[in-house]
């Protein structure tokens, strides 16, 4: 599943990334499967966007569309470098949101060193329970060149302002089809807005811990997976355009040590456009 950048969601309402593993394949097979994959992806995406449009028309609520694109030197999720052979990735996400409902598509593509790519199609609903913001959704993962490896995930997340400048967040997701395992992330971030920029520049240092329940490794036992720290930043160019970036590092814990994985660092930069 696309990696989940909680700090971006808090400071500029952007989501970004997560999967257990990426898939590599040769370009010949990619070309063979390209047409079927794009047809399937476009059909499901069109149904999602149609659903948002119908909902918006029914409740007379405007739809907010958003396009987010970014580049990174690593594709990391669950503390794992999903494709060590590649040193450059691009990510594109398109979402439509109205009255708490959000539908979108996310795509990852290796730019150097391999032919890894992946697409997610997702829908979620956000709501408040007192001071706690909750969102729940379903995510469909597809890998263009591989047959019979598509899968579905259910996810639930929250955000809670512990203090004015301290946000607690969490996310849990469970693969109900292929892996049949789950993962949990819990973290804290501190949104900061330095003076002199009319509130358009924001930083968000964060720390989070990940726990695995059969999503990364086979046994379905809750085990400490990784500890991650970093800082995100965003700058609002105007009401519609925002640029963002982050620097991150993940330390392996017991589960990843058992899997033979190491620590990993990565950076990301991108732009988001609302229309």
pLDDT digits (tens, 9 = 90+) for 85-121: 888 999 999 999 999 999 999 999 988 866 678 999 9
More confident residue, 222 or 14: 222
pTM: 0.81
Instruction: Quote the pLDDT of residue 58.
Output: 53
pLDDT digits (tens, 9 = 90+) for 38-89: 545 555 555 555 555 555 555 566 899 999 999 999 999 999 998 898 889 9
4 — pLDDT class (breaks 50, 70, 90): low
Instruction: Quote the pLDDT of residue 127.
Output: 96
Residues 16, 68 contacting (CB under 8 angstroms): yes
CA distances from 86 to 27, 72, 141, 218, 234 (A): 15, 10, 21, 26, 26
Instruction: Quote the pLDDT of residue 178.
Output: 87
Instruction: Quote the pLDDT of residue 85.
Output: 87
pLDDT digits (tens, 9 = 90+) for 265-274: 999 999 999 9
Instruction: Quote the pLDDT of residue 98.
Output: 92
236 — pLDDT class (breaks 50, 70, 90): very high
pLDDT digits (tens, 9 = 90+) for 145-187: 666 678 999 999 999 999 989 999 999 999 999 889 999 999 9
Instruction: Quote the pLDDT of residue 156.
Output: 98
Instruction: Tell me the CATH architecture of domain 6-274.
Output: Beta Barrel (2.40)
Instruction: Quote the pLDDT of residue 143.
Output: 81
33 — pLDDT class (breaks 50, 70, 90): very low
Instruction: Quote the pLDDT of residue 41.
Output: 54
Instruction: Quote the pLDDT of residue 47.
Output: 54
The secondary structure of the chain, three-state, reads CCCCCHHHHHHHCCCCCCCCCCCCCCHHHHHHHHHHHHHHHHHHHHHHHHHHHHHHHHHCCCCEEEEEEEEECCCEECCEECCCCCCEEEEEEEEEEECCEEEEEEEEEEEECCCCEEEEEEEEEEEEECCEEEEEEEEEEECCCCCCCCEEEEEEEEEEEEECCEEEEEEEEEECCCCCCEEEEEEEECCECCCCCCCCEEEEEEEEEEEEEECCCCCCCCEEEEEEEEEEEEEECCCCEEEEEEEEEEEECHHHHHCCCCCEEEEEEEEEEEC
């Amino acid at each position: 599943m696309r990696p989940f950048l909680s700090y971006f969601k808090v400071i500029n309402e952007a989501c970004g990334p997560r999967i257990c593993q990426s898939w590599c394949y040769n370009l010949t097979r990619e070309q063979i499967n390209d047409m079927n994959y794009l047809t399937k992806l476009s059909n499901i995406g069109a149904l999602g966007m149609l659903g948002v449009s119908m909902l918006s028309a029914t409740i007379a609520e405007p739809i907010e569309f958003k396009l987010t694109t970014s580049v990174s030197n690593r594709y990391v999720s669950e503390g794992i470098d999903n494709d060590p052979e590649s040193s450059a990735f691009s990510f594109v996400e398109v979402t439509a949101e109205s009255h708490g409902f959000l539908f979108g598509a996310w795509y990852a593509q290796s730019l150097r060193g391999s032919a890894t790519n992946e697409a997610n199609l997702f829908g979620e609903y956000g709501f408040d329970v007192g001071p706690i913001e909750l969102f729940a959704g379903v995510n469909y993962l597809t890998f263009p060149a591989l047959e019979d490896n598509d899968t579905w995930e259910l996810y639930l997340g929250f955000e809670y302002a512990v203090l004015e400048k301290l946000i607690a967040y969490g996310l849990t997701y469970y693969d109900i089809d292929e892996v049949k395992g789950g993962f949990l992330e819990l973290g804290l971030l501190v949104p900061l807005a330095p003076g002199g920029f009319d509130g358009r520049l924001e930083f968000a240092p964060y720390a989070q811990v990940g726990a695995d329940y059969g999503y990364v490794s086979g046994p379905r036992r809750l085990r400490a997976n990784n500890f991650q720290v970093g800082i995100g930043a965003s700058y609002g160019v105007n009401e519609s355009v925002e640029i963002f970036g982050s620097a991150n590092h993940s330390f392996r814990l017991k589960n990843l040590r058992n899997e033979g994985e190491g620590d990993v660092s990565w950076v990301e930069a991108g732009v988001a456009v609302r229309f």
